[in-house]
Amino acid sequence: MKIRLALIGFGSVGREFARLLVSKRDWLSREMGVDFEVAAIATRTRGSLVSKGAIDLEQAIRMRQDTGTLTRYGPESTDLSTLEIIESSDANLMVELTTLNIESGQPAIDQIKAAFRAGMSVVTANKGPVAFAYSTLSSMARLKGVFFRFEGTVMDGTPVFSFVEKTLPGCEIIGIRGLLNSTSNFILGEMARGKSMREALKGAKRLGITEEDPTMDVDGWDAAAKITALANVLMDARSNPNKVDRVGIGDVTSETVAEALNKNKRIKLIASAERIEAEVKTKVHPGIVGPDHIFWSVDGTSSAVSLETDLMGEITIIERNPTLAQTAYAVFSDMLLIVYSI
């Protein structure tokens, strides 16, 4: 079986996924009988490629890494817009890895719709489409007979959506709580060790774990997008990040952190979703937890999510200090689940 991919976005996650695809090429052929080819790579400002054959991924990775652009790749270089590439590509699976637009989820939403219209299945690690338009996109995918997967949107490669989908049949998710923003978790942990907010944020930037705009982390927008994505998929919330009752960590002071520590408590940025009558209410607020709380030991860049269910009680999933490799794996695993379903 041959699967042709269109990669929309070729930043750090896109290149990590491409490296994973290259490293697993022989395994995919041997174990699954699948040959993956990349038909297109589209970027907003770094050049784009379209090929009737197969783009040399290793060359594309090297060129993007060494020169910062794909414009000199060769005859496959194109000036077509991203939508034009999607509409004209003969790919049958689109991997959408563009940057989150917290205001609207665009242009990723329109790009995914274009892929569906072209008969492509879609994998994305972009929170925006799931946080702003999950109901519309999932309905459109069903109507077009294609697949829509998004495991990498929350908690990197840790299976949350797949876990519920595949292992909790018949269970209703009635509440969600999580530490969903690793940068805020890291900053609060560093402040507990005596550093100021500014020093902790500088440390997060050095580690490369902040969003492109760090206020997305500090002001709670990243966590808001993630809890909305979880609520939309697992609780049919039909919400968006603008509806989240959101307070970030910007006003948390060193004194506040020290006061909590003196009481053997820790401050965490907790995101939650709960059903109140017919509506799902979402919230992101700093909260205080003690040693008996399951989030107490979730430190560093780790994340966690607790799912409250009607039949299985509360289930908590924790990831420890993930890297780009985990997000790339989420995309890879979603891709394989689509192949299994074809």
Predicted confidence at residue 203, as pLDDT, reads 92
Q: With 90 as the cut, is the pLDDT of residue 194 above it? A: yes
How far is it, in rounded angstroms, from Cα 295 to Cα 214? 23
Query: 91: which DSSP letter?
Result: -
The answer to whether residue 226 is catalytic is yes
Predicted confidence at residue 305, as pLDDT, reads 98
- Can you tell me which residue has the tokens 């996650």? 13
List the structure tokens of 55: 């783009």
Which one, of 205, 184, 202, 193, lies nearest residue 254 by Cα? 193
Distance in Å from the first CA to the final CA of the chain = 10
pLDDT in tens, 44-74: 999 999 999 999 999 999 999 999 999 989 8
Tell me the pairing of strands 2-8 and 93-96.
parallel
Q: With 90 as the cut, is the pLDDT of residue 19 above it? A: yes
Whole-angstrom CA distances from 286 to 247, 294, 315 are: 7, 16, 22
Q: With 90 as the cut, is the pLDDT of residue 25 above it? A: yes
Residue 16 pLDDT level (bands cut at 50, 70, 90): very high
Q: With 80 as the cut, is the pLDDT of residue 287 above it? A: yes
Tell me the pairing of strands 93-96 and 77-78.
unpaired
Averaged pLDDT for residues 193-206: 92
How far is it, in rounded angstroms, from Cα 248 to Cα 217? 8
How far is it, in rounded angstroms, from Cα 177 to Cα 111? 31
Residue 256 pLDDT level (bands cut at 50, 70, 90): very high
List the structure tokens of 191: 């402040």
Predicted confidence at residue 278, as pLDDT, reads 87
Q: With 80 as the cut, is the pLDDT of residue 172 above it? A: yes
pLDDT in tens, 33-44: 999 999 999 999
Predicted confidence at residue 211, as pLDDT, reads 78
Enter the pTM of the model: 0.95
Please, what are the domains in the chain? 2-157+324-341 (3.40.50.720), 168-319 (3.30.360.10)
Q: With 90 as the cut, is the pLDDT of residue 213 above it? A: no
Q: With 90 as the cut, is the pLDDT of residue 208 above it? A: no
> What is the number of H-type helices and E-type strands within the chain?
13, 13
* Candidate list 113, 127, 226, 268, residue with the active-site label: 226
Residue 341 pLDDT level (bands cut at 50, 70, 90): confident
Residue 212 pLDDT level (bands cut at 50, 70, 90): confident
Residue 342 pLDDT level (bands cut at 50, 70, 90): confident
Q: With 90 as the cut, is the pLDDT of residue 207 above it? A: no
Enumerate the β-bridge partners of residue 112.
none
Predicted confidence at residue 157, as pLDDT, reads 84
Q: What percent of the chain has pLDDT over 90?
A: 91
Amino acid at 82: T
Determine contact, residues 284/227, Cβ cutoff 8 Å. yes
Residue 214 pLDDT level (bands cut at 50, 70, 90): confident
Task: List the beta strands (DSSP E) in 203-265.
Answer: 245-246
pLDDT in tens, 105-146: 999 999 999 999 999 999 999 999 999 999 999 999 999 999
Q: With 90 as the cut, is the pLDDT of residue 175 above it? A: yes
The mean pLDDT of the chain is: 95
Residue 1 pLDDT level (bands cut at 50, 70, 90): confident
273 vs 323, residue with greater confidence: 273
Which one, of 227, 288, 217, lies nearest residue 249 by Cα? 217
